[in-house]
Structures are given as C-alpha cells and as structure tokens.
Amino acid sequence: MTYRTFVTAASLIATGIATPALAQSQGQGQADKTTNQQASKTVGHNAQYPLSADLRRASNQALQATLYDLIALKHAAHQEHWNVVGLEFYQLHEFYSELYTSLSAPIDRTAERIRALGKAADGRPGKVSKTALPKAPPVAKRSARQTLALLEKDWATVSNALYQRIAKTGDDLVTQDLLIGITHRIDKQLWQLRSHLARMDSQNKRSNTGDRDTAKPQAATKNTPQSNNDPDSQTVN
C-alpha cells in the first residue's frame, strides 16, 4: 500500500465512509453485543429452580412463616434477657442469652432456603410484628417466673406450628429436613424452659410450706392432775 492509498483510506474512515472489511468488522461487533445482551436477559428470565412451582410455593409459605416466628422468638428472648429481675437474674440472664444467640443460625438457614427456592426472604420488623405467632408483651421489668412463663408460651406456640409445617412439606424433603432440625432445637429449648419453671415452682412451694410451719402456733401443754386410779401415782407404803 502506497502512502497516498493509506491516507485515502484513513480519510474515508474519518469521514464515516467505511470500507467493506471495516463494515463487516463493525457489523460483527454489533451482532456480538446484541447476542450478549439477549443471553443476559435469557439467564435472568429462564432461571432454573428445584421442584415445581406449586411445591416451591407451599414450601416458601412454610419457610417464610417460620422465619417470622424465629425472629420473633429471638427478640422475645433478648427482651427478657435485659429485663428479668430478682434472685434468679444472673442464671436466667445467661440462659436467655444462649436462647437468642442459638437462633441466629436457623434464621439464616431458613432465609437462604427461601432464596434457593426463588423468593425474597422477608425479615422486616414491621412484618414480623404483624405476622409472627409470638406477640411481644409490654416492655417492663419482670420477675424470673413471669419471664419464664412468657417464653414457654411462645416456644410452645412455635413448636406446634412447626409440626404442622413439617406435615405440609412432605414433597420437599430438603425443606422438611430443615424444619425438622429447627423443631428439634425449639423443642429442646422448650424442655429447658419447662425445667426452669418446675424448679422455681418447687422452691416456692417448699418456701411457702416452711412459712406456714413457722407461723403455726405451738399446742399448749396442759398440766392435768393425775388420776388416783393411775398405778404410778399411788404412794407405796
């Protein structure tokens, strides 16, 4: 190629008059860009999920309800962890810390399973407050027994609901297995709450019995004269 030919070609390119080879190259680049855009849209539109749409819908309903309930339980235990008062404060303060800390992993696994089935996980406080089965009591300082009774009721409510959800997810064994594991944890904690309550009630019963025994008046001793018919009272001459 002579210098003049090179300058002419450069001028044509600069003025927008493309050579056949350049036009072909530009056309191929545009086609590749269009193909990539279409491929990107296709991946998002035709994403593949496990199970059928109906099974995913049923599982996600059970999972989302469980997510609301677990978050509510975690908040409930945290509230009582802060506000319990009385002689049992330290022991229950630590126990309630174990309760709410142990729920973080099940909450995360439940949300991730919802995402795996194609839905967005909802853990917003407003929705939890409106939808979760456990309802938050008024903010107040509470005795050890009051806090235990409140939490036992909440844990029992969620345990019963979990068994129903397990029964409804029999065709999605992965979700069912997750719910079974969560139920095992909730039931164990429910047993611990009941045990604390039983111990406290037993102590209160013994304390009340001791108070009654202390307050019971002693029977007066009567000095009755001995009967003359009593052989031991007769004088031996």
- CATH number of residue 128's parent domain: 1.20.1260.10
In a domain, 12, yes or no: no
Q: How far apart, in whole angstroms, are the C-alpha atoms of residue 111 and residue 116?
A: 9
Domain residues for 76? 53-207
Q: How far apart, in whole angstroms, are the C-alpha atoms of residue 52 and residue 152?
A: 37
What was the pLDDT predicted at 29? 54
143, containing H or E segment: strand 142-143
Q: How far apart, in whole angstroms, are the C-alpha atoms of residue 45 and residue 47?
A: 6
What average pLDDT score do residues 22-47 get? 52
Q: How far apart, in whole angstroms, are the C-alpha atoms of residue 13 and residue 15?
A: 5
pTM over 0.75: no
In a domain, 74, yes or no: yes
Q: How confident is the model over 163-186, as pLDDT tens digits? A: 999 999 999 999 999 999 999 999
In a domain, 213, yes or no: no
What was the pLDDT predicted at 36? 45
In a domain, 158, yes or no: yes
In a domain, 83, yes or no: yes
What was the pLDDT predicted at 47? 86
In a domain, 219, yes or no: no
Q: Which residues contact 141 (CB under 8 A, 6 or more apart)?
A: 83, 84, 85
Q: How confident is the model over 117-153, as pLDDT tens digits? A: 999 999 999 999 999 999 999 999 999 999 999 999 9
Mapping DSSP to helix (H, G, I), strand (E, B) and coil, where does residue 10 land?
A: helix
In a domain, 195, yes or no: yes
Q: Is a pLDDT exceeding 80 seen at residue 19?
A: no
* Domain count across the chain: 1
In a domain, 16, yes or no: no
